[in-house]
């Protein structure tokens, strides 16, 4: 049975009536058709109404659901709902909600509203082209049609390349370019198997379709199995899309990625989005960093995912300073699946499975391979009809459910280890299942040891809004930045957990071959999902500030980011089983705030020459420098007195020596005024633990936009021991309550 949302229609005659979504057990059907059965149910309630409830109107059937769920919608009073509960076959009655049309759900969470601010008509009309380097696209999807779209801009030089099941006609005024890059891939793994993938820009994985629509997909009615229902659309949903397929079934060759970036620059994209990457490496060995540098030299903003190797430290990738490196965090939406143990302990889990309550059934938890529910590890005589407990790891989450189902299991509890903390992925499992955090996992194991007949039930609650958010996702890769300790990475965080976006109908929601279900929209998680959100935001800011550099756009998003959730508490990190504040090593500057970023007050601008001078401070060889600056480039003499930390970055990464008693670091910054004339900013400091901070000057007075002023910050270690794991603070330039230009500070002892 599937959850859904529909519009409340309150009675004019009585405020006592409300529309409810009623779930019924189809196996209890007493008539030949569901329509007749539901009508008979309403008639039964009518009879009870005549006998007991004379204050309310008669119940009214609003709609019968035949596919989304087994049930109906009806206008009922609270007394009539109580009467309904007495009938055989009743499962639940959920009050309907009045919801405004919105995206599902991240742009709304980001504060974007139709017709206002960054989503105003004039801003959305300007042509911005987002290039997506990924696994391709499903061009026929409703998210990419060009109805009502203006002609392709004359500046566009790209093409629609033909290939397997992809022709020039698959491109249109929305999807204006599509290319495939596979030479490097085929050189490494052999020719592409065209029974499993398309040797063209068509997407066989789903990843590229999902990311492209997140950045720039059209507004479209969307849901998955009726969950997360609403109007879905990309962050900059009127942007043009150009697709560069460089990722295939076994990965993405760096050479192909670089070729894709190179071609995108030549084609004329305005923003590049890359939800991919490997382990962090020196910039001169990182082809993404090299290609991205050429892009920013051409005025193209580049966003990349931070990686999914958290919560381990120093795992962040795509760390070049000219790249916007994006971490992942939660929305205020969840998909609850409640687990109740036989001893009445209750735990909140997560699942996209929709169906009737899985009543108390025996639990099974195996040893060794069976504990991880690896293929072939479960014996049918031991698990048939039981709820199987599976430990995360080794195989995919959905694959574990497939193994349990094939062995005859009735359901699955997928439990986290301590390392995975309270992370709750919402997966489209092939059987009744719930993902549970490490706390629940520990309690369940203790319960198994306390009884000879352990049981559990699972109740699927569907879509729930209003959860504490944002929260940092445990999987999101963390700093410190091992390639350059002088740079704080990631830069920002954005929605990346349980994100609904477009999906190829040829690919099942679980990507399992045995799963024959088809969907047009799917839920996915990862920094791959957060990255295109920021790419879309860069496109929005580029529309408003056409003269801003990529660094200016990046600075605006960073210095206006926030670090508190929707209850005004510090953002928490779900990697920990006890409430623990997240740090700049996970969220960088904080969670992006689009509206504030459109008017940041001050920016930290950086030119390509500044980046080259920064590379000079890293003592790169002439051949290394040539990768970025071209042949014949020579580092300026002034760079010999520069420190890497002097790059005009919007955050501060300070490194103290472990054994020194007189750690002092002074860094310089220059801010450009982009706000209203005649303003005076004053500095406000939240000092890192065991560190004193001095800022000179403490006041910055600007007369007109475009004016630049510089300041110095001196960090001094106080007496005492160093802080394990880093010490964190904030430097903020404030003008009244209008501008708060915020810079994260991270101090480490190396």
Active-site residues: which are they?
Answer: 134, 207, 528
CA dist 533 and 105 (Å) reads: 12
C-alpha dist (Å) from residue 447 to 60, 332, 366, 562:
46, 31, 15, 41
Q: Residue 63 half-sphere exposure, CB side, CA atoms within 13 Å?
A: 17
**What distance lies between CA 67 and its chain's CA centroid?**
29
C-alpha dist (Å) from residue 437 to 411, 502, 713:
17, 28, 42
Q: Would you say 509 and 516 are in contact if contact means Cβ atoms under 8 Å apart?
A: no
Q: Which DSSP category does 57 fall into?
A: P
Residue 12: φ, ψ to 5°: -75, -30
Q: What angle do CA 314, 687, 306 make, to 5 degrees?
A: 25
**What distance lies between CA 745 and its chain's CA centroid?**
24
C-alpha dist (Å) from residue 183 to 178, 248, 290:
16, 11, 19
CA dist 454 and 413 (Å) reads: 13
Q: Which of 383, 374, 364 is nearest to 448 (CA)?
A: 364
Q: Would you say 305 and 132 are in contact if contact means Cβ atoms under 8 Å apart?
A: no
CA dist 38 and 28 (Å) reads: 11
**What distance lies between CA 739 and its chain's CA centroid?**
27
| Peptide linkage before 311 cis (omega within 30 of 0) | yes
Residue 638 CB: number of other CB atoms within 10 A? 9
- 3-class secondary-structure state, position 89: coil
* Tokens linked to 111: 């504060």
* Tokens linked to 725: 């794991």
* Sign of CA pseudo-dihedral 426, 431, 432, 435: negative
Q: Would you say 165 and 200 are in contact if contact means Cβ atoms under 8 Å apart?
A: yes
CA dist 318 and 293 (Å) reads: 12
* Tokens linked to 20: 């409810």
Q: Which helix (H) or strand (E) holds 107?
A: helix 106-109
Please tell me the chain's helix, strand, coil percentages from 3-state DSSP, rounded to the nearest 5: 25, 30, 45
| Peptide linkage before 351 cis (omega within 30 of 0) | no
CA dist 125 and 544 (Å) reads: 11
Residue 542: φ, ψ to 5°: -65, -30
| Peptide linkage before 78 cis (omega within 30 of 0) | no
* Tokens linked to 714: 């001196």
Q: Which of 583, 572, 577 is nearest to 472 (CA)?
A: 572
The DSSP bridge partners found for residue 163 are: 166
* Sign of CA pseudo-dihedral 278, 284, 285, 291: positive
CA dist 241 and 229 (Å) reads: 25
CA dist 623 and 626 (Å) reads: 5
């Amino acid at each position: 049975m599937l959850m859904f949302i529909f519009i409340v229609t309150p009675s004019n005659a009585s405020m006592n009536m409300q529309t409810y979504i009623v779930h019924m057990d189809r196996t209890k059907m007493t008539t030949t058709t569901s329509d007749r059965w539901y009508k008979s149910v309403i008639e039964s309630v009518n009879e009870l109404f005549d006998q007991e409830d004379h204050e309310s109107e008669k119940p009214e059937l609003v709609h019968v659901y035949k596919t989304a769920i087994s049930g109906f919608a009806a206008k009922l009073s609270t007394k009539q709902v109580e009467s309904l509960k007495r009938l055989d076959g009743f499962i639940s009655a959920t009050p309907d909600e009045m919801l405004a049309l919105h995206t599902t759900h991240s742009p709304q969470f980001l504060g974007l509203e139709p017709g206002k601010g960054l989503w105003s008509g004039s801003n959305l009309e300007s042509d911005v082209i987002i290039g997506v380097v990924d696994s391709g696209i499903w061009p026929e999807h409703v998210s990419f049609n060009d109805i009502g779209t203006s002609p392709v801009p004359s500046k566009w030089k790209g093409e629609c390349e033909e290939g397997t099941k992809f022709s020039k006609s698959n491109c249109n005024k929305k999807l204006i370019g599509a290319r495939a890059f596979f030479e490097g891939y085929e050189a490494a793994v052999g020719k592409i198997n065209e029974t499993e993938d398309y040797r063209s820009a068509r997407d066989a994985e789903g990843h590229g379709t999902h990311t492209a629509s997140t950045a720039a997909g059209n507004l479209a009615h969307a849901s998955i199995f009726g969950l997360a229902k609403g109007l879905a659309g990309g962050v900059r949903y009127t942007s043009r899309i150009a697709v560069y397929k460089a990722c295939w079934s076994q990965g993405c060759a760096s050479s192909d990625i670089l070729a894709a970036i190179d071609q995108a620059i030549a084609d004329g994209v305005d923003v590049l989005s890359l939800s991919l990457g490997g382990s962090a490496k020196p910039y001169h060995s990182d082809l993404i960093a090299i290609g991205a540098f050429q892009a920013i030299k051409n005025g193209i903003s580049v966003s990349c995912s931070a990686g999914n190797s958290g919560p381990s430290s120093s795992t962040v990738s795509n760390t070049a300073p000219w790249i916007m490196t994006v971490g992942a965090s939660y929305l205020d939406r969840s998909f609850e699946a409640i687990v109740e143990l036989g001893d009445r302990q209750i735990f909140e889990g997560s699942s996209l499975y929709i169906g009737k309550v899985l009543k108390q059934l025996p639990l099974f938890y195996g040893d060794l391979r069976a504990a991880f529910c690896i293929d072939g590890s479960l014996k049918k005589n031991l698990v048939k009809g039981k709820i199987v407990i599976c430990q995360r790891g080794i195989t995919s989450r959905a694959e574990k459910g497939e193994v349990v189902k094939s062995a005859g299991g009735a359901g699955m509890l997928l439990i986290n280890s301590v390392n995975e903390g309270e992370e709750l992925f919402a997966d489209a499992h092939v059987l009744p299942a719930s993902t549970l955090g490490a706390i629940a996992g520990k309690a369940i194991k203790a319960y198994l040891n306390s009884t000879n007949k352990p049981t559990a039930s699972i109740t699927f609650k569907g879509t729930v809004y209003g959860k504490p958010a944002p929260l940092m996702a445990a999987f999101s890769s963390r700093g410190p930045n091992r390639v350059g300790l002088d740079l704080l990475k990631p830069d920002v965080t954005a929605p990346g957990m349980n994100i609904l976006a477009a999906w190829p109908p040829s690919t099942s929601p679980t990507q399992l071959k045995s799963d024959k279900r088809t969907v047009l929209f799917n839920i996915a998680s990862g920094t791959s999902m957060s990255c295109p959100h920021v790419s879309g935001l860069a496109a929005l800011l580029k529309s408003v500030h056409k003269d801003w550099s990529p660094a200016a756009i990046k600075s605006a998003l960073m210095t206006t980011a926030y670090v508190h959730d929707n209850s005004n508490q510090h953002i928490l990190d779900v990697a920990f089983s006890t409430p623990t504040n997240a740090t700049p090593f996970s969220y960088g500057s904080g969670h992006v705030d689009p509206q504030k970023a459109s008017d940041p007050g001050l920016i930290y601008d950086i030119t390509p020459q500044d980046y080259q001078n920064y590379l000079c401070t890293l003592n790169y060889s002439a051949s290394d420098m040539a990768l970025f600056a071209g042949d014949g480039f020579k580092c300026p003499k002034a760079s010999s007195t520069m420190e890497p930390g002097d790059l005009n970055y919007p955050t501060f990464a300070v490194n103290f020596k472990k054994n020194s008693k007189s750690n002092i670091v002074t860094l310089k910054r220059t801010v450009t005024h982009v706000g209203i004339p005649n303003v005076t900013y004053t500095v406000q400091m939240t000092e890192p633990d065991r560190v004193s901070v001095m800022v000179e000057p403490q006041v910055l007075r600007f007369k007109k936009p475009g004016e630049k002023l510089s300041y110095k910050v001196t960090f001094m270690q106080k007496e005492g021991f160093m802080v394990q794991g880093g010490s964190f603070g904030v430097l903020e330039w404030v003008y009244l309550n209008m501008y708060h230009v915020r810079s994260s500070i991270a101090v480490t002892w190396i």
